[in-house]
Structure 1
Amino acid sequence: MKDSFVELNGRQRAFALVDSNSGREIVGPEYDMISPHLEPQNIVPESDDGVIVVKGTLDGKQVVIISIEGKFQGGGIGEVSGAKIVATLEEALEDNKNGNTIYPIIVLDTGGVRLQEANYGLLSISEIQNAVIALKKYVPVIGVVPGRVGSFGGMSITSAVLSYLITTAKARVALNGPEVIEQEAGVREFDSSDKDLIWNTLGTKQRVKTGIVDEVVKDNIATIKESISNAIDQKKDAHRTDRADFYLTLFDKIDFNKPLNTEEYRKVYSETQAVKHDISATVSGEKPGTKSRGRLWFEKLTGIKNATSKYSTVLAAEVDGKEYIAIVPDENNRFPRVRHGEVGLQEGFVISKIVNKIVDEDQDKKVKRPIILIVDVPSQAYGYKEELIGIHIGLASSAAAYARARQAGHPVIDFIPGDAVSGGFLAHGLQSNRMIALADKSITIQAMSKASAARITQRTISELEEATKHVPAMAYDIFNYEKLGALYKLVHDVSSWDANDDAVKKVHELIDEAIESTKDQPTDLHFRYETPIAIESGRNFCS
């Protein structure tokens, strides 16, 4: 097709978006920035690791294009590719802070985390989101989803924090791919062989009518350039992560135990008018809630017995000047896919309201309230309705709120006594500037379940487990995660399920120590690159 943008490769797309003869590639293939994690798995690496960065002009405006190559590892984000994106965005941030206006444009052709580098991918994606949120204070950050792969996984969460999202009719946007939902929830939940169902649900013709993308344009280079330029000139911003009251109102209208098709959802979406939802603090109740490590530690750290709240899966309370937040299971939840501690449609929006209120209340205070995240999230929710409505927007809303809080000077501290998996961890945990975890074998920390990861990477589970022996970022345990250097402290001699008085006292002391360590320090995520373990492992090229 003549002048097709979709049919170009990643490098061609980057140069196609800038004015003729204005583009120059930054950190190109000649730098040989290959991933060190692929060859040990018998995977041939690429010298640009699947990310192309081009600086130039668009209609005379200074721009930087970040183009993800969907043909390499499905556009998956790993350590090196993620570092290239983060470094580019952070350089653009500094330019804009210094009055040198430059507009970032991200071409999303990505399945999300590169599963062969799973935990590095999750870290990188959270850092990309942090940089985008910081940049939006100065300039719009524009996303383009051309097609082929689309924008999935953690990068769908990233798409939701962008200012404006332009797509073609050949694109799809979703958190969980149909194969993953089928693997996790069964074929009755989402039949991955039903192509009409997939495109009707996740395709951009549906997405543009329900606020997930902003503009669907023809697959034509000139048309896409014009749309980007107009979005920049008009400073367009969908404020997608600032619509918590709208979505909470929408959820009030839907029975999640009944079927919901695309036409019905478009109707309820178009008829919904936001009603303010007040989020009251968690209080003591008469009956114990569904058991979990997150609930146990929330109740012990706050002293709130049988903690109960209006939104049963989100516990939040201020104690001794600190705000504690946990996501917990509820076996009677009206959302069937969110009964075991998953982060679903509602949780992210509720958390965003809690955190944004704290930021607003402390705006003029010299000392900002610390926000303590108790992390025990087995995953995001896997469900058809979740994808139809756009679960990634909910997850992006809490991630954005935590990032804004940290950037405003609030210490955001993770305490991880339980699982920290996939989009759940991106939404509730990975925007913290300090992470404390228990050294407990029962803790799983990863980007995807073994069964789904094996299916997507076309490996057996035994082959997947063998690969984790050579690549710590692929492993599922907290001890291998420590090798990545992102943790502030790994706490030995405290069990996930044994929150005795001495253990609680020790965790309180470590939280206070972590808060103190953030004073007069940058409010970004660079601490993760600066620990001795991170430096030794080589994860320092974004600093």
Structure 2
Amino acid sequence: MSLSYAECTARERLALLLDAGSFHEWLPPSERLTSPHLAQLGVPCAFDDGVAIGRATLAGRTVFVAAQEGAFMGGGVGEVHGAKLVGLLQRALRDRPTAVLLLAESGGVRLHEANAGLIAVSEVMRSVLDVRAAGIPVITLIGGANGCFGGMGIVARCTDYIVMSDSGRLAMSGPEVIEASFGVEEFDSRDRALVWRTTGGKHRWLTGDCDELVEDDVQAFREAAICALSAAKPVTSALLETEHALLSARLRDMPPPSDDLDDAMALWQRLGVADAQRIPDIDVAAMHALRVATEAQK
């Protein structure tokens, strides 16, 4: 029986994704490690500051793992939250697990802890790159209801491998942020179809920002994570040049505004995807078949 990844809490995902009973949490809620900033502002705290970190096994192989809790402040990163992520990654350099898994669900930096959160995110990014440079793959799973935005969106793209569900979302700026900055005419955050076409798993997979697209199912995420355990991509000049070429091609292929198709659908057509209008309505299996057919025609 399938179980929705999006509907699970962070700890439910850990229990179901990893080998049964293997997760050993570091700094659990019993340690009562909370944000001093939130307490000073009179904002309710969480005893794990919205992220669970620890060691576990996946298919019998040792992994370090962090799971953000979207139900607490949207998974926002503050000083303690970020320090736990950094500590996990730095310990990976010492203990050398098979991989590090980031179960990302975050709206980005907490506005309550803006400067501390921004510094924390930059430290997480540096630590991710250090772990990758040591030959340990960092794998990001995105499928929570809050998506992966802001600083955590950047962190995700710094990792070796990204697995997303159709319902997952990944971007730098969230829909509400874009609308607040540029107006509803630029981006209507209430248009759910538009939001998912622009930031959703299908779009990210088609454009190369996501390595694997899966159904919103915990078992599907587990199987994809197991396959990704050997997906290390050493940070080399050749890899950076490939990324720059991808971004340059995206800018080149970005179509002008059209009354017939929105930007996402027009871009899919530029990428050679036939019947781009069908993409929002088809399932993941059909997406994979469509991609195979598209590649065969090139």
What TM-score comes out, normalization by structure 2 length?
Answer: 0.83
Partner of 1:446: none
Identical pairs, percent: 35
Partner of 1:48: 48
1:129 to 2:125 alignment: yes
Partner of 1:219: 216
Q: Distance in 2 between matches of 1:244 and 1:160?
A: 13
Return the match for 2:115 from 92, 114, 119. 119
The alignment yields a C-alpha RMSD, in angstroms, of: 2.2
Once the two structures are superposed, residues 307-351 of structure 1 have per-residue CA deviations (whole angstroms, 9 ceiling, x without a partner) of: xxxxxxxxxxxxxxxxxxxxxxxxxxxxxxxxxxxxxxxxxxxxx
Return the match for 2:181 from 180, 184, 188. 184
Q: Distance in 2 between matches of 1:85 and 1:205?
A: 28
Q: Which residues of 2 match residues 356-375 of structure 1 at below 5 A?
A: none
Q: Distance in 2 between matches of 1:113 and 1:162?
A: 18
Question: CA, structure 1 residues 7+14, in 2 after alignment: closer, same or farther (shift >3 Å)?
Answer: same
Return the match for 2:228 from 227, 231, 239. 231
Amino acid at match of 1:168: S
Deviation, structure 1 residue 219: 2.4
Amino acid at match of 2:70: G
SS of residue matched to 1:46 = coil
1:160 to 2:157 alignment: yes
Partner of 2:264: 262
Q: Distance in 1 between matches of 2:34 and 2:8?
A: 22
Deviation, structure 1 residue 270: 5.0
SS of residue matched to 1:104 = strand
Q: Is 2:64–2:101's contact at 8 Å kept on the other side of the alignment?
A: yes
Q: Which residues of 2 match residues 72-471 of structure 1 at below 5 A?
A: 72-96=72-96, 101-137=97-133, 138-235=135-232, 242-254=242-254, 258-259=257-258, 261-269=263-271
Unaligned runs of 5+ in 2: 274-298
Q: Distance in 2 between matches of 1:149 and 1:15?
A: 20
Amino acid at match of 2:265: E
Amino acid at match of 2:164: T
What TM-score comes out, normalization by structure 1 length?
Answer: 0.47
Deviation, structure 1 residue 86: 0.2
Partner of 1:396: none
Q: Distance in 2 between matches of 1:208 and 1:229?
A: 19
Amino acid at match of 1:107: L
Once the two structures are superposed, residues 75-111 of structure 1 have per-residue CA deviations (whole angstroms, 9 ceiling, x without a partner) of: 0000000000000100001222xxxx33110001100
Deviation, structure 1 residue 253: 4.6
Deviation, structure 1 residue 255: 6.4
Question: CA, structure 1 residues 237+172, in 2 after alignment: closer, same or farther (shift >3 Å)?
Answer: farther
1:28 to 2:28 alignment: yes
Q: Is 2:164–2:210's contact at 8 Å kept on the other side of the alignment?
A: yes
Once the two structures are superposed, residues 161-204 of structure 1 have per-residue CA deviations (whole angstroms, 9 ceiling, x without a partner) of: 11111111221111111111111111111112222211121111
Q: Which residues of 2 match residues 449-528 of structure 1 at below 5 A?
A: none
Q: Distance in 2 between matches of 1:39 and 1:141?
A: 32
Q: Is 1:92–1:102's contact at 8 Å kept on the other side of the alignment?
A: no
Q: Distance in 2 between matches of 1:27 and 1:37?
A: 19
Amino acid at match of 1:139: I
Q: Which has the larger radius of gyration?
A: 1
Q: Distance in 2 between matches of 1:262 and 1:209?
A: 10
Partner of 2:17: 17
Q: Is 2:148–2:171's contact at 8 Å kept on the other side of the alignment?
A: yes
Amino acid at match of 2:17: L
Amino acid at match of 2:142: V
Q: Is 2:70–2:144's contact at 8 Å kept on the other side of the alignment?
A: no
Amino acid at match of 1:268: R
Instruction: Name whichever structure is richer in helix by fraction.
Output: 2
Partner of 1:364: none
Amino acid at match of 1:265: L
SS of residue matched to 1:143 = strand
Amino acid at match of 1:15: A
Q: Distance in 1 between matches of 2:255 and 2:3?
A: 45
Q: Which fold has the larger relative contact order, with Cα–Cα distance below 8 Å and residues 6 or more apart in sequence?
A: 2
Once the two structures are superposed, residues 45-76 of structure 1 have per-residue CA deviations (whole angstroms, 9 ceiling, x without a partner) of: 00100010131111111001100000000000
Once the two structures are superposed, residues 518-543 of structure 1 have per-residue CA deviations (whole angstroms, 9 ceiling, x without a partner) of: xxxxxxxxxxxxxxxxxxxxxxxxxx
SS of residue matched to 1:38 = helix
Partner of 2:7: 7
Q: Distance in 2 between matches of 1:164 and 1:266?
A: 22
SS of residue matched to 1:136 = helix
Q: Distance in 2 between matches of 1:29 and 1:124?
A: 20
Q: Distance in 2 between matches of 1:161 and 1:242?
A: 14
Q: Is 1:14–1:53's contact at 8 Å kept on the other side of the alignment?
A: no
Unaligned runs of 5+ in 1: 272-543
